[in-house]
Copies of this chain bind each other. A is one copy, B any other.
Amino acid sequence: MSNTPELTPISYLVLGLVARGASTSYELKQRVAGSVGYFWSFAHSALYAEPARLETAGLLTESREAHGRRRRMYTITPAGRDALEAWLREPTREPTQVRDLGLLKLFFAGLIDEDAARELARAQAAVHRERLAAYEAVAGAKAQSPDDLYPLETLRMGLMVERAFVAFWESLV
């Protein structure tokens, strides 16, 4: 059956990564860590469960190594590529979620004294400055290889958000 059985964002993420090249779960994990993982992360075990589900749905095929570790290698099927492309072409109105615990704490900062609130701002500013520096390093390294244009663009957006956070927290200090 090639009817789309409720795919989640992680489904498409896996589909997309496998579309760029057949992979084992471990390879997926590494590729996520170096790219999308910066803004959309999850437990590595999801990368074992999800391909299995996609295989059941006929969107991936699995082939196991004959010897040694007998790792499962996943490849995208034509149906998988169709589902992925259809999803990519369809715009979304899903609201953007910015899940930042610091922000959530700030929301309730009226319940603690002002000094503690300021301290929170200071700490979060420091964390985001660190993160920004790390992203900038990654971006600098990736900017050399001009393939992978779009992943680089999402990284650029990540940088913009981090800069906004730094500016925001610093404005509160």
Q: How many residues of A contact B (CB 8 A)?
A: 64
Q: How far is the CA of A13 from the CA of B91 in the complex (A)?
A: 31
Looking at chain A's contact residues, the main secondary structure is helix
Does A45 sit at the interface, judged by CB under 8 A?
no
- On A, residues with C-beta under 8 Å from B are 9, 12-13, 16, 19-20, 35-36, 39-41, 84-85, 87-89, 91-112, 116-117, 119-120, 123-124, 127-128, 131, 148-151, 153-154, 156-158, 160-162, 164-165, 167-168, 172
A88 & B120 in contact (Cβ 8 Å cutoff): yes
B19 & A97 in contact (Cβ 8 Å cutoff): no
Q: Chain B residues with Cβ under 8 A from A154's Cβ?
A: 103, 106-107
Q: How near does chain B come to A116, taking the closest CB pair, in angstroms?
A: 5
Pick the contact of A91 from B36, B87, B127, B157 — CB < 8 Å? Answer: B127
Known contacts A39-B98, A98-B161; A19 and B149 CB within 8 A of each other: no
Pick the contact of A153 from B123, B131, B172 — CB < 8 Å? Answer: B172
